[in-house]
Amino acid sequence: MTMWVAGTAGVVYLAKRRVQMSILETQQTGPGSSGKITVLNPACSSTMAERAPLTPRTFSDLNDKTIFLVDIGWGGPKAGYDVLDVMKKWLAQNIPSARTVLVAKKGSFGQDDPELWKRIRDEGHACIIGVSC
């Protein structure tokens, strides 16, 4: 996921990592042209963000497990609910003993929600974090 931050003089945040955008300059000719424009090139560096390892699996299936479906709020409130609701229905049909809990994370998609993460750790076995719009 890439988050573009407006008005930061050529700086974007990619996976919580600061990346400097290159500045492109070009000559413009024609009536009304000042002759030169400067634009930002949104191409990021080829350096990948550090990957976090997957959480070790402590179970082999989802039978009798609690699965949290988390809408992080990207795309607006309730934007991810359509997709997550389809997932909830699929899980109910295909793994009926699994319990699903559909929740919305507090704040914007980039803000932390420690209370929710604690609830998921305490009450859940798995978590699907959804992004949709």
pLDDT tens digits for 64-104?
A: 999 999 988 777 766 677 888 889 999 999 999 999 999 98
- Residue 109's contacts (CB-CB under 8 Å, 6 or more residues apart) are 72, 73, 74, 131
Compute how many other C-beta atoms are within 10 angstroms of the C-beta atom of residue 62: 17
Q: Is residue 27 part of a domain?
A: yes
Q: What is the pLDDT of residues 6-44, one digit of tens each?
A: 333 333 334 444 444 454 555 556 666 666 666 666 666
73 and 30 share one domain: no
Residue 5 confidence class, pLDDT cut points 50, 70, 90:
very low
Domain that holds residue 13: 2-41
Provide the domain count of the chain.
2
Question: What integer pLDDT is reported at residue 53 of this predicted model?
Answer: 86
Q: Is residue 53 part of a domain?
A: no
The answer to whether 130 touches 67, Cβ cutoff 8 Å, is no
28 and 71 share one domain: no
Strand ranges (E), the chain: 2-3, 11-14, 17-20, 22-27, 36-41, 66-71, 99-104, 126-130
The answer to whether 129 touches 120, Cβ cutoff 8 Å, is no
Can you list the alpha helix ranges (DSSP code H) found in 21-101?
81-94
